[in-house]
Amino acid sequence: MTDLVVRELKQAEWDGWDQWLAFQPWGSPFSASWWLDANCRAFGGHPLLLGVLDGEQLVGGVSLRIMDTGPLHVVRPSMLYNPIVIGAGSAQRRQQILAALLEDMARRKLVVRLLNCTPDMVDLREAVWHHWNLTATWTVLQSLKTWTLKDSLSRDKRRMLTKAQRAEVTARVEPPDADVLHVLLQASILRHKHASTPTREQLHTLVEAAGTHGIQIVVRDVDGVPLSACFAMAHGTRIAYGIWAGTDAIGLTKGAAVAMYVFMLKELQARGYEYLDWCDASYPGYSDFKLEFGGTMTICLAVSREPQWLKTVTVGRLHLSRLMRVVRRR
């Protein structure tokens, strides 16, 4: 028996949600109302913030970006994580909260493509018991309390740092600038041939929305040209998330990426954060680079809920579009 109520939190209640979120040990910006709103403006869709209440008290929730496609209400993934947030409590209570949330989403007939949870959400057993699909990915989690440059950095990266110092590149916190970030991000993505990044406009919207929750670190050459940049976000006092990072080709040769990451770790340590989540370690090569700063490879779970017929149609559509591409080429 449970006395929990799940309901949509209206815009007037969003501040209350954000305040509650900031006090959760693993509360992340990805669940914040301002991030949800920015994602909807950048990528389309409308926001749905579901809160789980025990009486008047918030005990959990999830923020969802919904796209209506015909009769379907599809939850589209936001950037990196779409975590379910559950307040501290016993394992049983946490499971009850999760079950209430999952049942509410099922009642609303939401098609949930993928809810990528933060690494603290290990206990997603209720999702399996409610016949949701479960998958796993990886991230690198860096403990900042014990991090030291000497003990944690690999020898290779230390050499790169020395190289950067000799080249007199400088790293520092700068006011968020989506343009600088986008150019360097694009350079990195093209080199790695990864999935596409947000467009310049989308990045502007997201960076602006982050406001004081974002920290941008830029590494510049002696002549002031940006070589490497990263953007970290936090919503709470314990954990920061490294969301975007990019380095141009010259920056790479000068060790700018290493200088930037080392500066970021020191900065977050100085600000009192306990962990840095490098956000995603599933790419070959790039994820090993992240591990060389002393972090630990960690599992992130994700849940999804799609009707079987939709899965089949999606696969069929994918094959059809491939076929169309081949036909067009000929």
Amino acid at 110: L
**CA-CA distance, 170 to 221, in Å (whole number)?**
7
Minimum distance of a copy of itself from residue 1's CB (angstroms)? 16
DSSP state of 257: H
When binding is defined by CB under 8 A, the residue of 134, 225, 249, 324 that contacts a copy of itself is 134
Q: Which stretch binds a copy of itself (CB under 8 A): 14-22, 70-78, 110-118, 282-290?
A: 282-290
Minimum distance of a copy of itself from residue 286's CB (angstroms)? 11
> With 0-12 CB in 10 A as exposed, 13-18 as middle and 19+ as buried, what is 237?
middle
50 has which bridge partners?
A: 8, 62
Of residues 25 and 44, the one with the C-beta less far from a copy of itself: 25
Minimum distance of a copy of itself from residue 25's CB (angstroms)? 16
Q: Which stretch binds a copy of itself (CB under 8 A): 133-141, 181-189, 234-242, 255-263?
A: 133-141
Site residue total, a copy of itself (CB under 8 A)? 22
DSSP state of 32: S
Minimum distance of a copy of itself from residue 104's CB (angstroms)? 20
Minimum distance of a copy of itself from residue 298's CB (angstroms)? 7
**CA-CA distance, 28 to 134, in Å (whole number)?**
21
Q: What residues contact 323, with CB distance under 8 A and at least 6 apart?
A: none
Q: Which stretch binds a copy of itself (CB under 8 A): 135-143, 144-152, 168-176, 213-221?
A: 135-143
Contact (Cβ atoms closer than 8 angstroms) between residue 27 and residue 58: no
Q: Which residue has the tokens 């977050």?
A: 268
Tell me if 301 contacts a copy of itself by CB under 8 A.
yes
Of residues 119 and 214, the one with the C-beta less far from a copy of itself: 119
DSSP state of 128: H
Q: What residues contact 193, with CB distance under 8 A and at least 6 apart?
A: none
Minimum distance of a copy of itself from residue 149's CB (angstroms)? 19
Of residues 92 and 212, the one with the C-beta less far from a copy of itself: 92
Of residues 125 and 159, the one with the C-beta less far from a copy of itself: 125
Angle, alpha carbons 112-99-86 (nearest 5°): 90
Instruction: Give me 206's structure tokens.
Output: 């997201």
When binding is defined by CB under 8 A, the residue of 5, 129, 199, 253 that contacts a copy of itself is 129
Tell me if 92 contacts a copy of itself by CB under 8 A.
yes
When binding is defined by CB under 8 A, the residue of 136, 195, 326, 327 that contacts a copy of itself is 136
Of residues 167 and 297, the one with the C-beta less far from a copy of itself: 297
User: Which has the closest alpha carbon to 47: 30, 32, 34, 64?
Assistant: 64
Tell me if 125 contacts a copy of itself by CB under 8 A.
yes
User: Which has the closest alpha carbon to 227: 189, 184, 167?
Assistant: 184
Contact (Cβ atoms closer than 8 angstroms) between residue 178 and residue 208: yes
Strands, E assignment, 23-71: 46-54, 57-69
Of residues 209 and 281, the one with the C-beta less far from a copy of itself: 281
Minimum distance of a copy of itself from residue 186's CB (angstroms)? 24
**CA-CA distance, 99 to 81, in Å (whole number)?**
20
Q: Which residues bind a copy of itself (CB under 8 A)?
A: 91-92, 95, 122-123, 125, 128-129, 134-136, 138, 281-282, 284, 287-288, 291, 297-299, 301
